[in-house]
Amino acid sequence: MNITNQKRTASLQRSTRETDISVSVNLDGSGTAQVSSGLGFLDHMLTALACHSSIDITLQCKGDLHVDDHHSVEDCAIVLGRAIDAALGDRNDLARFGYSYAPLDESLARCVIDLATRVHATVNLQLTREKIGDVACENLTHWFVTLASSLRCTLHIDIIRGENDHHKAEAAFKAFALALKAAVSRTQPGRDISTKGSL
């Protein structure tokens, strides 16, 4: 693992019998994405996440897609969350909280995040199809829940309205990206970000 607090970067690799994943992130990047998860729709969502959070994300995953998409989706969330967590360092001087609304045509998503290391996720994507592209809809919800756990954050995502499942999922990822961008932004050094005096 390579962590540089000034640049807030991290690189992680995780290999199991189900997946082999490498991830690099730069929290102060320009939103570039080089992602290849083996799943087209997940790549599309991760590219949107990078673009709208301004976090540079490089992710390569070789997974057991002959089984199904579950292990690849879950493990990408685990490793990406851990990489962001590592890049955050001690989490001092963070804005900590982030919230955003993001529309996509008829769909509207809301996301609220707290980076105080209290792990909780409530995710309501209101998806009705079995799959979007090559990803099971239940695994999109699972991706957010798993990421919240590995990132060590509190996360609430809700689809307020929508009809098209692709639009709902993409709006959720964009709302998450914008909320995360706000939460990881730096504030003035030395400012208390918790009444406890520490996270």
Tens-digit pLDDT profile for residues 88-98: 999 988 999 99
pLDDT mean across residues, the chain: 93
Looking at the domain assignment, is residue 23 inside a domain? yes
Domain assignment of residue 42, yes or no: yes
Contact indicator for 88, 95 with CB cutoff of 8 Å: no
Number of domains within the chain: 1
E runs forming strands in the chain? 9-15, 19-26, 33-36, 56-63, 97-104, 107-114, 120-124, 131-132, 135-136, 154-161
pTM listed for this prediction: 0.92
Name the one residue in this structure whose structure tokens are 């493990």. 75
Q: What pLDDT score does 92 carry?
A: 84
Q: For residue 154, what is the domain's CATH number? A: 3.30.230.40
Give me the pLDDT at residue 2, please.
44
Q: At what angle do helices 137-151 and 70-88 cross, to 10 degrees?
A: 30
Q: What is the pLDDT of residue 6?
A: 72
pLDDT digits (tens, 9 = 90+) for 62-109: 999 999 999 999 999 999 999 999 999 999 889 999 999 999 999 999
The residue segments making up the domain with residue 114 are 9-184
